[in-house]
Amino acid sequence: MTQQATARWRYVRAFVSGLFVAVPVTVTVLDRLAYVARVEGASMQPSLNPDSGLDCDIVLLNRWSVRNYQVQRGDIVSVVSPKNPQQKIIKRVIGLEGDFIRTLSYKNRFVRVPDGHFWIEGDHHGHSLDSNSFGPVSVGLLHGRASHIIWPPQRWQEIKPSLPPNRGPLDTEEDEG
């Protein structure tokens, strides 16, 4: 074997062994820190996929920020669907544990969100399978928080927490007085 062939062989071996290290490290980083997800459907319109004629929005889901199951009202989150564990859904957090929520179409008109749960809803109420269908969601189903829209380029932006008008927990002091 020539000296040049030996050098090429060493280069190939170094490259392949680097892949064996890089791939698991990359998968671990993406699993623990963040990954991208395609948002399909109309349930989060107009916040996500505002124009159904365009491609779907692609968002960055921050997994690190929810590692301790900490979310706030108004966050857009990805959760494992309570109806289909093979599917992840993206919805807005409307209420946290202990909050009283006025539901839109749930079996009870008012719900107290139990400990270890939160209430999620799509922004387009008529087109969303959310807590109004299946009730409060366990924080254990939380998968990530949408932090940025990264595609299409004209929609690139940070996603800030916000509650739609007339949604959110009831103000118990106001309701009692």
Catalytic residues, by residue number, are: 43, 91
Which residues fall within 8 angstroms of residue 80, CB to CB, at 6 or more apart? Answer: 87, 88, 141, 143
Q: What is the dihedral of CA 15, 17, 19, 22, to 10 degrees?
A: -120
CA dihedral 10→16→21→25, nearest 10 degrees, is 140
